Structures are given as structure tokens and as C-alpha cells.
Amino acid sequence: MKLITWNVNGLRACLTKGFAESFAALDADIFSIQETKMQPGQADFAPEGYYEYLNSAEKKGYSGTACWAKQPPLSVRYGIDKEEHSHEGRAITLEYPEFYLVNLYVPNAQDELARIDYRMQWEDDLRAYLLALDAQKPVIVCGDLNVAHQEIDLKNPKTNRGHAGFSDQERGKMTELLSSGFADSFRRLYPERTGAYSWWSYRFHAREKNAGWRIDYFLVSERLMPKVKDCVIHSEIFGSDHCPVELDIEWD
């Protein structure tokens, strides 16, 4: 089974930059995107052979998640079971017989960590939500988690220490989540790999120089890790300031 996650930074914009072609070429069983920045019906994209699930923010042109799946899920949930987190379209959960797939666009802590208190609350509520799912069946978490966990996960850790996405608070919450029973599939498979990034600023020719951050993930319940065959960062695919990330998993 092939799963893809990609922060498209506006689906309508990404559609003008080859999204449909990349979608077809990647041929995923489940394709999850973040930062759709649209309401239902605003994009002309309906891939044949897929079921579509959208969770849009109440604020137009902001946030939002979507999933396309070849097989219909047993159930679909939007949000993370907390009303205060239900307004920005940041989560979709698809339930399948063997697992839950949770597509996330985690809130950015913003400049000067202006939204760090909200982010910390989100992290605690998200962890509780994921652990409740994990008690029922294994969980695959994908999406833009808006944190580079370790120094190896960004090009310039020293100058970015304490900034949004690399604050001690956000990194600590990621450590807490992983310690509660989840594995960072890419880093587990490639513990020493450097220069592996999924997001680059549009400024300073960052992508050209590969001055990036790895903030897009596939986390899996620890008991699923033996079934993970590969996790691939498709840095060769353009269309957004992020690139797609692929998880290959083999069921018995």
C-alpha cells in the first residue's frame, strides 16, 4: 500500500503547477494534502477512481485538509474531538479494517511564537486523540506537523533555535508524542541521513541550495513499524514550497 502526504500551499495554485500530473504519477492508495486554502467546490479536481474527503477552515483561503482514497473507509471523522480545534479544517481521520489514517495540518506557532500557547494545547489534545485511536487499532499519522524534531531535520539548526517550528516547546511535544508509542518512520529507517527536507522557504533560493526543513511526516504506531517498507521524500517534485512524502507499507 502506498500513502502520500503533501502540503500543497493552496490546491488551486498547485493545480496550475502540475498537481494533477504528480497525483497521477504517484498513484497512491490514499493521497492526503494540507493547506488546501479553499472551500468545497472551489477547485476543479476530481480524480477518477478515488473517494474524496475535505475539511475546510471556516476562514476562507486558509488552512484545510483533504484526502483521496481508492477504497472507501469504514468511517470518517473531522477534527480531533475538541470543539476549540474544529474551526480551521486541520484534521481528517479515515478508518480502515487494519488501521486509522490521520491527516494533519498542525497549527504554526507563528513569528515570536505568538501562537505557542494554542499550539501546546493542540499538541496535548492531539496526543490524547491519537492514543484513544491507538487503543482500538494501529494509527498512521501523516501531514505537515510544523516542527523539525532534531537538529538533523533542518539545514540551519543553530540560527533557528527558538523560532517557530524549532522551539524547545514544539520539539518537546514531538518527543512526548513519539515516546507515547509512535515511530517517525523516515528517521527510524534513515537515522543518519542528512539533507533530507520536505519544506523550503520561497526566499533566498532556499530550495536551490537545499536549505530546508523536514516538517512533513509519517508517524506510525510502533507495532506497525515492522510492516513499513520505505518512507520516501520526493524532493524532485515541485508545485509547492513543500514536497510530497511517501509511505510504503505491506499488510499480511
Give the whole-angstrom CA distance, residue 232 versus residue 246: 5
Q: Residue 140 corresponds to which cell in the numbers above?
A: 498512521
Active site residue 144: yes
Closest CA to 118 of 68, 82, 143: 82
Start-to-end CA distance of the chain, whole Å, equals 11
Side-by-side strand order, sheet with 100-105: 75-78, 91-95, 100-105, 139-144, 216-221, 182-184
Question: Under 8 Å CB-to-CB from 112, ≥6 apart: which residues?
Answer: none
Q: Is 123 strand, coil or helix?
A: helix
Question: Which candidate in 50, 100, 105, 217 is catalytic?
Answer: 105
Active site residue 105: yes
Question: Which candidate in 144, 184, 216, 241 is catalytic?
Answer: 144
Residue 45 to residues 87, 151, 250, Cα–Cα distance (Å): 24, 38, 29
Contact between 90 and 72 under an 8 Å Cβ cutoff? The reply is no
Give the whole-angstrom CA distance, residue 143 versus residue 23: 16
The single residue listed with the C-alpha cell 513543500 is 242
User: What are the catalytic residues?
Assistant: 105, 144
